[in-house]
Structure 1
């Protein structure tokens, strides 16, 4: 059985005719209010344009480091003229007492315009924040520029897809199928480029979390080197032995990273063994002697005391902290301190121990034969 349906064209024609009829009657009856409303709208647009120009002066596109002033300027620059016109029309719409169909049309256009303009603003804020954090992390070394195209495409697709779904939902369209399709497509793309996206998001994480920056010396796994470039997929580290290590960002973040440059002090540890023949009263003075020498070098003494009874020595632990992270200061301090310890111990009559062994022989009757004359010094070897 055939079911007859009425074409939609006559209904649209009737609505269009009603719209123009009501609008014409409204214009003829309210021409004075309409003139005042148009003037107010023009004034509002002029004011908004002036504010936009003023905000654009805050934008410093040439700066290596993207600041929040630049982001505000970009938002103003990306504000469309048609959006300003729609805003002005929406503001004066109530004063002019527009007919219902015209009021609904202005409201509909305002909703669409606001949604798309909000998507443009959201894109600029996200991209500006990424560039801002990247500029702080890398001081504009150019590593981000190669990946900004991918980031811009992903952010643009995401924000405008959301805007399209919101507009279609306001129009009464069932967007469940569209959302499902976008979700399935996104999952398929994500699975196909899982490695690329994992490194990309790891690079973004490094830029935002900033565990290290270009120029820092870091310890990665069993390697150590200076960070030369932080890319969106890889990080380049110059090893202490001269090689350039190129490590994927995901693998880099999966390991323990030690930022050597960010250390606030350098700890030097010395184990000093003195002979067992050292008198107890001298042993009691050694911690104070060590502390005095460490403080004389401007270091903070973390430990200076008797540690243990060794196999052939009485062991003292001497630990000092040197403020800062410059080994160019720590190494000479260590060298001077070692020489000072030797000099001071020699002056105090304190002998540093080293492994010794004494051999004894016996006569046929079992009597020990001393390896040195009575009252002499043992032959140590």
Structure 2
């Protein structure tokens, strides 16, 4: 059998036959040049050879898909899954399932001995294991930074005196080809000796069997009863300790003759009592040997209550600090900052509450990133929907922080005049002269023309004294001199700025302006001084022999001869000459 020819050779032969066919069809008497035929054959051969090159290069075979790893049905893929699955199976007394979380040993043990080992390890974990289960690694590879080999994981360590028990996991290959974590044989070997050091198993042995054997929700009944009874006991013990602390504090303060600030009833329940009761109850429950699985949920509940107690303590401290600041400001006459302090303390309490709530949610395994994003979006929506409210809020902060108004000030805001009765976070309330209460939004107060009469260091006395037109110049000089002497010598008048001047010839009077400052800031004192000055000025006018002008018109009756005919004729003649002269 002849070897197969390459493809380019076959294409060249076909091209030669094609050229001959073209010559025959055209009936050519002269054949094509040989050079042309050779050039065509060369081009075909090159194209054919290039077309054959890719097929000669071997194509890489596609990578095989990664083998599908079937998750372990018992959850032993991660250290957390192994510990959690064992505790759950042991708590439900499913010993056959719990044994599947143990590393196999070379020596075959009886079934009762294996079940006893499961029970003992479960009791050790319930009594002495401290960490939260969510602190155990959830990574299938475990923790790689603990200094142990990659196939070992140290979950926790328990100490009783000088005896140490280590819960160690090992990673082995499963029958199905996967990797699973099991409780190591080294840990299993140390369980019986460490179990003998525990105290509560002996106590459990002395209890009636029905309290031990009856296990609602997979936990002995006696433990449920003990947890319930320990709650009031821990609270009463904490209340007693807090009562003793309060008594000692009051005795020390009385011996030092110092007042007790913010004193409360000795029997009052506060945040310190709550925190102490929670701590005592937590310690008692830890000694009971309650289920580790249930203790995880118990820790979450106690943690939330501790967070609430901490928030309560912060609120109490904030109120105490604000009260001390208010007393200091009131002593300096700056009581209007009360609203600003209340706003600041409430805002601080709200921020602390949000921060503690987020920490609690995070401890429960909730992703707080979404909550923070929701708070941000909600804040934007709230800001857009409550622009006027925030305008009044920040306007109130501006008014209080600038100290332009205080409660009790007499002021004029826009066209409203009266005494300030309250400066709130939303509005300022003013009692008018008609005894009506006007509420002005703080946004308006912050932008309006505000005139505070209580801020005056002295009060202006300004009067226009109008004398009759018949008053002579000498009478005017006398009045001016005597009024000046009155102002200069008066004890309540600032003599350096006092002025008395004749300022205007009116239609029915000669006007004298009296300008002076009364050295007082009290309205009652100013009115009394003003009354005294006006009465003395009236006496001076009367002594001068003239009188105050009365708003009236004086009519004079005379005989009018009409227009002067001679002057009229002369004026007309002059105008006629102007016309003639062009």
TM bucket (normalised to shorter chain) is 0.5 to 0.7
- Which residue number in structure 2 is paired with residue 119 of structure 1? 311
**1:306 to 1:228, Cα distance in 2 relative to 1, 3 A:** closer
Instruction: Tell me how far 1:323 sits from its aligned partner.
Output: 1.6
**1:345 to 1:82, Cα distance in 2 relative to 1, 3 A:** closer
**1:71 to 1:358, Cα distance in 2 relative to 1, 3 A:** farther
**Preserved contact between residue 396 and residue 425 of structure 2 (Cα < 8 Å):** yes
**Preserved contact between residue 270 and residue 319 of structure 1 (Cα < 8 Å):** no
Query: 1:289-304 alignment to 2 at 5 Å?
Result: 289-292=485-488, 294-295=490-491, 298-301=492-495, 303-304=497-498
**1:56 to 1:247, Cα distance in 2 relative to 1, 3 A:** farther
Q: The residue matched to 1:70 in structure 2 has which SS?
A: coil
**1:152 to 1:290, Cα distance in 2 relative to 1, 3 A:** closer
**1:126 to 1:207, Cα distance in 2 relative to 1, 3 A:** farther
**Residue 334 (str. 1) matches residue 527 (str. 2):** no
Provide the rounded CA distance (Å) in 1 between the counterparts of 2:198 and 2:474: 112
Pairs aligned (count)? 318
- Which residue number in structure 2 is paired with residue 163 of structure 1? 356
**1:299 to 1:170, Cα distance in 2 relative to 1, 3 A:** farther
**Residue 238 (str. 1) matches residue 435 (str. 2):** no
**Preserved contact between residue 299 and residue 323 of structure 1 (Cα < 8 Å):** no
Provide the rounded CA distance (Å) in 1 between the counterparts of 2:264 and 2:356: 21
**Preserved contact between residue 487 and residue 493 of structure 2 (Cα < 8 Å):** no
- Alignment deviations for residues 351-379 of structure 1 (CA, whole Å, 9 cap, x no partner): 8889999999999588xxxxxxxxxxxxx
- Alignment deviations for residues 193-233 of structure 1 (CA, whole Å, 9 cap, x no partner): 343454456567777869232x5433221111234555554
Q: The residue matched to 1:323 in structure 2 has which SS?
A: coil
Q: The residue matched to 1:241 in structure 2 has which SS?
A: coil
Question: Taking structure 1 as the reference length, what is the TM-score of the superposition?
Answer: 0.56
**Preserved contact between residue 270 and residue 318 of structure 1 (Cα < 8 Å):** yes
Q: The residue matched to 2:497 in structure 1 has which SS?
A: strand
Q: Unmatched 5+ residue regions in structure 2?
A: 1-67, 88-120, 130-157, 162-195, 200-235, 252-259, 283-291, 568-582
Q: The residue matched to 1:219 in structure 2 has which SS?
A: strand
**Preserved contact between residue 278 and residue 351 of structure 1 (Cα < 8 Å):** no
**1:116 to 1:204, Cα distance in 2 relative to 1, 3 A:** farther
Provide the rounded CA distance (Å) in 2 between the counterparts of 1:228 and 1:349: 50
- Which residue number in structure 1 is paired with residue 271 of structure 2? 79
Q: The residue matched to 2:473 in structure 1 has which SS?
A: coil
Query: 1:88-167 alignment to 2 at 5 Å?
Result: 115-126=307-318, 129=322, 157-167=350-360
- Which residue number in structure 2 is paired with residue 12 of structure 1? 84
Task: Give me the CA root mean square deviation.
Answer: 5.8
- Which residue number in structure 1 is paired with residue 386 of structure 2? 193
Provide the rounded CA distance (Å) in 2 between the counterparts of 1:125 and 1:277: 77
**1:235 to 1:264, Cα distance in 2 relative to 1, 3 A:** same
**1:119 to 1:210, Cα distance in 2 relative to 1, 3 A:** farther
**1:194 to 1:284, Cα distance in 2 relative to 1, 3 A:** closer
Provide the rounded CA distance (Å) in 1 between the counterparts of 2:356 and 2:348: 12
- Which residue number in structure 1 is paired with residue 375 of structure 2? 182
Question: Taking structure 2 as the reference length, what is the TM-score of the superposition?
Answer: 0.40
Provide the rounded CA distance (Å) in 1 between the counterparts of 2:523 and 2:466: 29
- Alignment deviations for residues 27-74 of structure 1 (CA, whole Å, 9 cap, x no partner): 78799xxxxxxxxxx9999655533567799xxxxxxxxxx9339999
Q: The residue matched to 1:81 in structure 2 has which SS?
A: helix
| Structure 1 stretch displaced more, 245-254 or 111-120 | 111-120
- Which residue number in structure 1 is paired with residue 244 of structure 2? 50
- Which residue number in structure 1 is paired with residue 463 of structure 2? 270
Q: Unmatched 5+ residue regions in structure 1?
A: 32-41, 58-67, 91-100, 367-381
- Which residue number in structure 2 is paired with residue 69 of structure 1? 261
- Which residue number in structure 1 is paired with residue 515 of structure 2? 318
Query: 1:340-355 alignment to 2 at 5 Å?
Result: 340-347=536-543
Larger Rg: 2
- Which residue number in structure 1 is paired with residue 50 of structure 2? none
Provide the rounded CA distance (Å) in 1 between the counterparts of 2:396 and 2:326: 12
Instruction: Tell me how far 1:166 sits from its aligned partner.
Output: 3.8
Provide the rounded CA distance (Å) in 2 between the counterparts of 1:3 and 1:267: 95
Provide the rounded CA distance (Å) in 2 between the counterparts of 1:72 and 1:310: 72
**Residue 223 (str. 1) matches residue 416 (str. 2):** yes
**1:320 to 1:352, Cα distance in 2 relative to 1, 3 A:** farther
